[in-house]
A and B are shown apart, each in its own frame.
Chain A
């Protein structure tokens, strides 16, 4: 059983992660760790007692976001999933994290290089699941014979375009929830035979 001290430590760490996630989502990655500490109600030093560096904090937050994506694909069960199921699962997670994801794609170049690599590496895992499924559907004669990484990049390209231009597509409400159906159906009609 965990000691009271251990539980306290874990709860403080989680509070820092949750606060940092919220602040980065709403204010962007230029928000300072002092601001995060203040908002979480801990001292600035406490942040660095839990995370060795800013990089470690950022990597942890991006990692947590991408773990939620991986968990979604895992629950789906790759062998029986259809392309539509996969796109739904991807959209579901992105919709839940829209503000944070938008920051991630628009401000990526502001992040430390090592943190950007964590993002890119995790995207590869998502792409890999996507590609396995699409390769199977190409073999089954359902999806057109296009290199699978181009299919993944096209799908991301559509999502990112709507996010980048959220102010035009949906200024007053989250953009992905509003256009999820259009995006999915259009992509599926483009790639299927």
Chain B
């Protein structure tokens, strides 16, 4: 089973892939409407929002959690190696 390189979500069904393309390494939520993968900043904002909405956490705490999780994902390896 594939795991999204940009958010870690398991991709099991065709509908988990952007435009149903199972060759893609990222999921439908990490894709822009045109099917390309969203940027680091877009992903960070999306994951922060996901954490805030799912648990009602404060924005700054949710962002720290999102960034910590992104550090472990292959898609953002280069972003963190710049630090």
Q: Does residue A192 face the partner (Cβ distance < 8 Å to B)?
A: no
Nearest B residue to A149 via CB reads B56
Chief secondary structure at chain B's binding surface: helix
- Are A127 and B69 neighbours in the complex by a CB distance under 8 Å? no
Q: How many A-B residue pairs have CB under 8 A?
A: 41
- Are A117 and B55 neighbours in the complex by a CB distance under 8 Å? no
Interface size on B, residues (CB 8 A): 14
Q: Does residue B50 face the partner (Cβ distance < 8 Å to A)?
A: yes
In the docked arrangement, what's the CA distance between A62 and B54, Å?
Answer: 20
In the docked arrangement, what's the CA distance between A116 and B56, Å?
Answer: 17
- Are A153 and B64 neighbours in the complex by a CB distance under 8 Å? no
Q: Does residue A150 face the partner (Cβ distance < 8 Å to B)?
A: yes
Most chain A beta-carbon neighbours within 10 Å: one of B50, B54, B57: B54
Most chain B beta-carbon neighbours within 10 Å: one of A120, A125, A128: A120
Residues of B within 8 A of A127 (CB): 54-55
In the docked arrangement, what's the CA distance between A159 and B68, Å?
Answer: 27
- Are B56 and A117 neighbours in the complex by a CB distance under 8 Å? no
Residues of B within 8 A of A117 (CB): 64-65, 68-69
Contact with B along A111-150 (1 / 0, CB 8 A): 0001001101101110110010000000000000001011
- Are B55 and A153 neighbours in the complex by a CB distance under 8 Å? yes
- Are A152 and B54 neighbours in the complex by a CB distance under 8 Å? yes
Which of under 10, 10 to 19, 20 to 34, or 35 or more describes the interface residues of A? 10 to 19
Q: Does residue B5 face the partner (Cβ distance < 8 Å to A)?
A: no
- Are B56 and A128 neighbours in the complex by a CB distance under 8 Å? no
Among B50, B57, B64, B66, contact of A128 (Cβ-Cβ < 8 Å): B50
In the docked arrangement, what's the CA distance between A121 and B10, Å?
Answer: 15
Residues of A within 8 A of B64 (CB): 117
In the docked arrangement, what's the CA distance between A112 and B57, Å?
Answer: 19
* Min CB gap A147→B, angstroms: 7
- Which residues of A come within 8 Å of B, CB atoms? 70, 114, 117-118, 120-121, 123-125, 127-128, 131, 147, 149-150, 152-153
The 10 A-B residue pairs with the shortest CB-CB distance, nearest first, are: A117-B68, A127-B54, A149-B56, A121-B69, A124-B54, A117-B65, A128-B54, A120-B65, A124-B51, A127-B55
- Which residues of B come within 8 Å of A, CB atoms? 10, 50-51, 53-57, 61, 64-66, 68-69
For the complex with contacts A124-B50, A149-B55, 5 further pairs of A-B residues with Cβ separation under 8 Å are: A70-B10, A120-B61, A121-B66, A124-B65, A128-B54
